[in-house]
Chain A
Amino acid sequence: MNYLYFLYIEFLTKHHIPKLFGDITFYFIPFCIIAAALIIAVLVLVLAERKLLGFFTQRKGPNRVGVWGVLQTVADAFKLLCKENITPTHADRFLFNLAPIILFIPVMTVLGIIPYSSEFTFVNTSTNVILYLILAAFPVLSIFLAGWASNNKYSLLGAMRSISQVLSYELPIAFVILSVAVLSSSLNLTGITLAQFSKWGLAGWFIFPCILGFIIMFICILAELNRCPFDLPEAESELICGYNTEYSGMRFALFYLGEYAMMFANSMFMAILFLGGYLSPFGKYLFNSSFLIYFEQAFWLFLKAGFIIFIMIWIRATLPRLAAFDLLKFSWSVLLPLSIVNLFVAVILKMGGIV
């Protein structure tokens, strides 16, 4: 980031703009980039999901708007923008409007703390893993507000389910992250990435000592994202649309956007923790120029995240939904003990000097 800051200031001084202006505006640039990148990423992600679901169920998926249906999600987003925002009569207007906005804050921030390449982290604190842990659980507040403020029984039930779900799936995630932190002796995402570097490429990745942790984390992230088979809070066949039943137009679009952006952020996070983040799987980079390497690093990160997203979509196409009771039982009686076992394994490996 210092490198980018340096470039930016140099650019400004060349055009005789005071350094103070650069100091202030520099911190707005990441937000603009994130906002733009986020919308594009979500549009691509939704299209990819619909296409893949189509292929899984032997359909073509969207194929009318644009070549191969590529503009379908753009058209959908445009349609949502044009729609009327309806507020139910007896809803709590203030909280009802606040909920989608609250969802969006952690989503934007999470994307800011991820190291896309060795020089490209917008907010690089020494403990940004902890920051991630807090921000990833944040959307549940918005879901709760939405469910509560809508004055709809289905929304309320959806919010209720969502809270119990996130509460019980946060704990295993914390233990898994702890084991990764032990292995890498770092709470910084860049530090964790660099700890996975080895001459033989993917041999250094933490997925190998922590395969159990990887699986636990994957399951928990599915639950946190309310994705199939843990999509109880928005179970269509039971609760119609769950917490966002009453939302329409732009507000619904924000929920949708937040959900998919969170999916993107979480899978990148998993890629960083277990799949070596932006490191190349071959041990050395394909490009030699330092500038192109940044893009190559980002490419590897997106590829790994894309792989995780693909598995998520695959699971969605295959599995039925769990029952609410089984879901809680599964977390407390299976995932939590296993994640503690995983932590012990990580500690033993670290003390033995194997990793």
Chain B
Amino acid sequence: MTITKLKLNLGPQHPSTHGVLRLILELDGEKILSCEPDVGYLHRGMEKMAEQMTYIQYLPTVDRIDYLAGCFYSELLCRIVEQALEVELSDKVRVIRVMLLELNRIASHLLWTGSFLMDLGATSPFFYTFREREMILRYFEKLTGQRMMYNYFVFGGVRKDIDCLDDVQEIIDILPEKIDDYEKIITDNPIFLKRTEGKGILDKETALNYAITGVNLRASGVDLDFRNIDYLYKGFDFRTIVLEEKDSWARYKARIMEMRESCNIIHQALEYLKMTPALEQRLINPLNLKLPAGDYFAQIEAPRGLAGCFVCSDGSDKPYRLKWRTGSYYSVNLLRKLLVGEYLNDAIAIAGSLDFILPEVDK
């Protein structure tokens, strides 16, 4: 008997590819024989664009690299400039940045929880997680005037002093209860367990070979969290979530636990911010800002894995070359290996569990 292969183009316009990913699948019935991710449908030339812009011109655009966690990328660019000019951040600026980064991380994970369940066919959790994400976005809107592209971090500090701390207090008071609610409806649901337990197993070696970072790696049992060596997070007490299950369920659980941990960090930041006097900061003058010639690299633990920024400067006011390292890019590459041998509906769930978004892949 000969196997007739069915070639299926999943995407670029498809409800569950989280943007414009195109997967070229070869199917035998519903079983996937091979998978070839095809990226680049959302390429905006973020890296080439940097070469024609001064640093302050480029800063507002970097939020668009990951529209769900924009803070992390503006933090990276600020960090490059601060590193190059050897500027020390004051403690208050540091804590403000940590608080906003963690809020943004929670918002991103909340959206993922909803969309992952949507991939599995449950529509309601999407609305529940969006309800809580809305609170966080409202706070950002109050603070920065923007819901997703904040442009709040500037070279050497933040754009203005933090306010509306009561809103943040309310968010972290409510959120753990709401996460309990999600867990009640999702975590012990037998259908959910059947769809995720033992599905899409990503072992340690494969994960490391494919340069997977972030939650996906920690759910495979590798203890690697770049927040532990990050100078921003110095003095914060938090736990690194490491799970040994290696499957889709572990990746889900790790994100849920990480949200709780982020609440914990925000709580500590809030205590500090409530005590400290108004912000005094010495910003770097962005006009005529030139980085000394040389190579700079900065990294941070973003919601979708390690985010890195490499800048090669020739001493002018524009970068000579700029390169972004994003977690999603490597997760998409992993599909090539992880989806082979799975059935189509499991494949969608596995791809969803990796939490990639396409603007981050295509840049």
Contact = CB atoms under 8 A, between A and B. Distances in A.
Size class of the A contact interface (CB-based, 8 Å): 20 to 34
B174 interface: no
Given A240-B14, A320-B117, A324-B345, A58 B122 contact: no
A3 interface: no
B303 to A, nearest CB: 21
Nearest to A326: B194
A323 B194 contact: yes
B123 A317 contact: yes
A157 B14 contact: no
Contacts of A318: 122, 124, 185
A58 B345 contact: no
Contacts of B124: 53, 56-57, 317-318
Nearest to A59: B127
B112 to A, nearest CB: 14
A114 interface: no
B345 A238 contact: yes
Contacts of B294: none
Contact of A321 (B8, B127, B128, B345): B345
Contacts, number: 79
Contact of A237 (B15, B128, B189, B346): B15
B30 A324 contact: yes
B121 A237 contact: yes
B131 A323 contact: no
A161 B344 CA distance: 12
Interface in B76-130: 117-124, 126-128
A53 B131 CA distance: 15
Contact of A320 (B120, B128, B131): B120
Contacts of B185: 318
Contact of B16 (A157, A229, A237): A237
Interface string A42-58: 00000000000100111
Given A157-B344, A235-B121, A237-B121, A58 B127 contact: yes
A238 B195 CA distance: 14
A79 to B, nearest CB: 21
A151 B269 CA distance: 58
**SS of A interface (majority):** helix
Contacts of B189: 319-320
Interface in A228-249: 228-229, 231-232, 235-238, 240
B191 interface: yes
B121 A321 contact: yes
Given A153-B6, A318-B122, A318-B185, A323 B345 contact: yes
A316 B121 CA distance: 9
A351 interface: no
Given A57-B128, A58-B131, A320 B15 contact: no
A317 B345 CA distance: 20
A311 interface: no
Contacts of B120: 237, 320-321
B226 interface: no
Contacts of A320: 117, 120-122, 189, 191-192, 195
Given A237-B119, A237-B121, A325 B191 contact: no
A322 interface: yes
Nearest to B13: A240
A60 to B, nearest CB: 12
Contact of A323 (B16, B127, B195): B195
A58 to B, nearest CB: 6
B67 interface: no
A326 B344 CA distance: 13
A330 to B, nearest CB: 10
Contact of B122 (A153, A238, A240, A319): A319
A319 B348 CA distance: 17
B343 interface: yes
B346 A323 contact: yes
B117 A325 contact: no
A319 B191 contact: yes
A136 B333 CA distance: 45
A43 B189 CA distance: 32
B348 A238 contact: yes
A220 to B, nearest CB: 17
Given A320-B121, A321-B121, A237 B348 contact: yes
Contacts of B126: 57
Contacts of B343: 323-325
A153 B10 CA distance: 10
A56 B128 CA distance: 10
Given A321-B345, A324-B30, A153 B128 contact: no
A321 B120 CA distance: 6
A147 B101 CA distance: 48
Nearest to B131: A58
A57 B345 contact: no
A228 B121 contact: yes
A58 B30 contact: no
Contacts of A235: 121, 345
Nearest to B25: A153
6 contacts: A57-B128, A237-B348, A321-B195, A321-B345, A323-B195, A326-B194
Given A236-B121, A237-B348, 6 more contacts: A57-B126, A58-B131, A228-B121, A318-B185, A320-B122, A325-B343
Interface of B: 6, 8, 14-16, 29-30, 117-124, 126-128, 131, 185, 189, 191-192, 194-195, 343-346, 348
Interface of A: 53, 56-59, 153, 157, 160-161, 228-229, 231-232, 235-238, 240, 316-326
Leading 6 A-B pairs by shortest Cβ distance: A321-B121, A57-B127, A320-B122, A237-B16, A320-B120, A320-B121
